[in-house]
Chain A
Amino acid sequence: MPSETPIVVVNDICKTFRIRGRPPVQALRHVTNHVDKGEVLVVIGPSGSGKSTFLRALNGLEPIDSGSIVIDGVDLTDPKTDLNRLRRGVGMVFQHFNLFEHKTALENITMPQTVVLKRKGSEAYEIGHRLLDRVGIGDKADNYPSELSGGQQQRVAIARSLAMTPKVMLFDEVTSALDPETVGGVLELMKELATEGTTMVVVTHEMGFAREAADRVTFMDDGAIIEEGTPEAVFDNPQHERTKLFLSQII
């Protein structure tokens, strides 16, 4: 197939959270979107707009009620799809890092390789060391997560995802829990990944990053996509009232 086929195709997905004793929350309302190979899609929007749910749906962490998600030709919503296999190709970096607390930085990167990809220990270690160098903390290989700063932990988490050589990387507000002085470094690392051609979907409140690194920006509110386009179009010339309101509030 030609490379024009988007690597992620999201078609008309809906998701409603039903918690007993509370009114149901419609987190995703007929969301349709796509991500091309090498594209950086940045999703912005107020809290509770459904952007994190959208991201988590892309690797099946959040099952959806209807619609379809196709990743590199594999339909995530098909019951016959091996979700574990699919997730190998979809890296995810979390707001709270979620490093394996009982493993060192290096082991956090090697363990998924040996367990999931059945790589040899020596190979996994080589890749682990190379990626730790790549994300700029080669000297922290033997430290446990609790001994690392938030920024360093997030770098390990990014390296852990990269080790699986994913087709697409998902970033879920990865700088929101960081100390201000470490935010810039992590964003810088993500920009480097973007320029290297990594396919990325980034949920963030960092508008500077969105403007600089995004190929396309999607604005979500109340579970739906309100507006999307190039960073210039969305930030400098928003069409929708809600987009204007949101941008005026955060800038």
Chain B
Amino acid sequence: MLSAGWVGFGADTMVDVIWITMPFLLAGLWMTFKISLVTILCGSILGFAVGMLRTVGGWLVSATLGIYIHALRGTPFLVHLYVIYFMLPALKIPWLQFEAFPAAVIALSLYTSTYVAEIVRAAIQAVPRGQSEAARSVGMTAAQCMWHVVLPQALKLMIPPMGGVYVIIIKGTSIVSVIGISELVRAGEHATQRHPRELMLIYGMTALMYFAYCYPVLRIARWAETKFGSVRLPS
């Protein structure tokens, strides 16, 4: 009885803690969901464009995009986030002033795009040369060949690694808490400050929520992989 008053807030049992912290954690999950969804969407579109351009563009385009990809992949995401959120505003350029949410989404999208771009490039190049030679030999243009022959086969190759990247990005969104965004991990930390005796419980709930979000993504990727048939490429 004594400890109940000392811990305070009247929340004592685990059920109470779950009951009280759940809305905050769900709000955090919702933020994580929003950030990751926008990021995955924008990052994939940008990455697809970069990967395609890198494959079909000339050496100059390819080299330029290569620098973009390797510069972003070779530096920590946290640095990108600081540059966009803290450094760019200091340049006093009006359209480079970002609030926390856009800054997080932009930084994460750029980061995601580099991984997606490499997956797209690798998948396109993994489609045997004979496929495009056959397409060109019947008179298809380079674009027709890409659209009707190469991409449909490359897409299947992209699905498994793409699912992996998406899950890494979803979990990676936790890092944007450093610029004050209340996503799931941040919400969990707040909860532990209110209920310091229930660390295990709260972090456990947080982890379960991430799992509940990520696991279906992996399942969907697996489903898509079998649904569209594992490609058998000619030797």
Q: Which residues of A contact B (CB under 8 A)?
A: 59, 61, 84-88, 90-92, 94, 96-102, 111-112, 115-116, 145-146, 157, 160-161, 164
Contact = CB atoms under 8 A, between A and B. Distances in A.
Given A111-B148, A145-B234, A99 B140 contact: no
B187 to A, nearest CB: 45
Contacts of B52: none
B231 A87 contact: no
B125 interface: no
A102 B141 CA distance: 19
Given A91-B137, A100-B149, 6 more contacts: A87-B137, A94-B133, A96-B130, A100-B135, A101-B153, A102-B152
Contact of A101 (B136, B138, B141, B233): B233
B131 interface: yes
B96 interface: no
Contacts of B234: 96-99, 101, 145
A85 B133 contact: no
A112 B131 contact: no
Given A98-B234, A101-B233, A102-B231, A116 B139 contact: yes
A193 B190 CA distance: 79
Contact of B136 (A61, A100, A157, A160): A61
Q: Which of B138, B141, B233, B235 has the most CB of A within 10 A?
A: B138
Contacts of A94: 130, 133-134, 137
A242 B231 CA distance: 45
A160 B135 contact: no
Interchain residue pairs A-B with the least CB separation, the first 10: A88-B139, A98-B134, A98-B130, A112-B138, A92-B137, A87-B139, A146-B232, A116-B139, A102-B152, A84-B139
Interface in B140-184: 140-141, 144, 148-149, 152-153, 156
Contacts of B128: 98
A100 B140 CA distance: 13
Given A61-B133, A94-B133, A115-B148, A102 B138 contact: no
Contacts of B149: 100
Nearest to A112: B138
A85 B138 CA distance: 9
A112 B138 CA distance: 7
A139 B18 CA distance: 64
B12 to A, nearest CB: 61
Given A94-B133, A101-B153, A88 B231 contact: no
Contacts of B153: 101-102
Interface in B1-28: none
A164 B153 CA distance: 23
Contacts of B141: 84
16 contacts: A61-B137, A84-B136, A84-B139, A86-B139, A87-B137, A92-B137, A94-B130, A94-B133, A98-B130, A100-B131, A101-B231, A101-B232, A112-B135, A112-B140, A115-B140, A116-B139
Contacts of A85: 139
Contacts of A157: 134
A240 to B, nearest CB: 32
B232 A112 contact: no
Contacts of B231: 101-102
A90 B133 CA distance: 13
Nearest to B137: A92
B137 A59 contact: yes
A90 B136 CA distance: 11
B178 to A, nearest CB: 45
Contacts of A88: 138-139
A17 to B, nearest CB: 15
Q: Which of A59, A87, A115, A157 has the most CB of B within 10 A?
A: A115
Nearest to B147: A115
A86 B141 CA distance: 11
Contacts of B134: 92, 94, 98-100, 157, 160
Contacts of A115: 140, 144, 148
B226 to A, nearest CB: 15
